[in-house]
Amino acid sequence: MLTQLKIKDFLRDTEVFSTLEDESLERLSKNAIEINYSKGKLLFVAGDKAQHFYVVKSGWIKLYRETLDGNMAIIDILSSGQIFGETALFESDSYTYSSEIVEDAGVIAFPLHDLQKEFRTNNALTFAMLEYVTSYSRRKEREIEHKTLQSAPQRIGCFLLRLVPSTTSGSIVIHLPYDKTLLAARLGMQPETFSRALNKLKEATGLHVKGATIEIENIDRLIKFTCSACSSEYPCQDKCN
């Protein structure tokens, strides 16, 4: 288990809290606890009364909503260093999405009340959070753009390019971060649409796929195929998947 001191260090390594002063990190960490969950665990359901916000330490966590007719929309799939649940502060203390562990995960749970208290007086924190949410909005705008203007193969291409270090040239081997069914759902595609699109992408760009391993023979070919239908130039700034 992490001590409060280590939790503080961990918080400092996250994108959103990295610029905070030591005392702010200390106040936020003092009532935090580490919890480990197994795959399949439902952490909370949209509408639940919220007590905590979370930072992911390890594993993968799916945020999603369900429609009345039983379909699921994935909002995000999070890994180490990402936060979730904090938006409940702006929604009458209720979670705005459901959260499920999709690969065994460790999370750190922070009382929402401590964050709320900090927001009242700590402008540096409020501003850091504003920057973070603004950048998140930008990624969501990009996702809408891609859903409107990119083909399914291009959207898979974009997902793969985000896994490639931006200095890469020539060929590279990458590994999918989670299984293809989850990836299809993350991209809002039916599994069969995803399979067809992946095949088209292979033909168009010379990818080789073996399980979760993907060999990109010619990165420029993949960029040309994918990024022509995007308003951002490669390498793009909003690189988080």
Q: Which H or E run contains 114?
A: helix 112-121
Cβ proximity of 202 and 209 under 8 Å: yes
Return the number of the residue (87 or 218) whose C-beta is nearest a copy of itself. 87
Tell me how far, at minimum, the Cβ of 44 lies from a copy of itself, in Å. Answer: 15
For a copy of itself, which residue of 122, 152, 157, 197 counts as binding (CB under 8 A)?
A: 122
Cβ proximity of 153 and 200 under 8 Å: yes
Footprint of a copy of itself on residues 12-71 (CB under 8 A)?
Answer: 46, 65-69, 71
Beta bridge partners of 36: 106
Rounded Cα distance between 10 and 43, Å, is 21
Q: Interface with a copy of itself includes 131 (CB under 8 A)?
A: yes
CA distances from 214 to 71, 99, 117, 209 (A): 30, 29, 46, 5
Do strands 42-44 and 83-84 pair parallel, antiparallel, or not at all (unpaired)? Answer: unpaired
Q: Interface with a copy of itself includes 183 (CB under 8 A)?
A: no
* Residues whose CB falls within 8 Å of the CB of residue 194, separated by 6 or more in sequence, listed in order: 152, 156, 180, 183, 184, 187
Return the number of the residue (148 or 167) whose C-beta is nearest a copy of itself. 148
Footprint of a copy of itself on residues 68-97 (CB under 8 A)?
Answer: 68-69, 71, 73, 75, 87, 90-91, 96-97
Tell me how far, at minimum, the Cβ of 105 lies from a copy of itself, in Å. Answer: 22
Per CB under 8 A, residues contacting a copy of itself are 46, 65-69, 71, 73, 75, 87, 90-91, 96-97, 119-123, 126-127, 129-131, 133-138, 140-141, 143-145, 147-149, 188, 227-231, 233
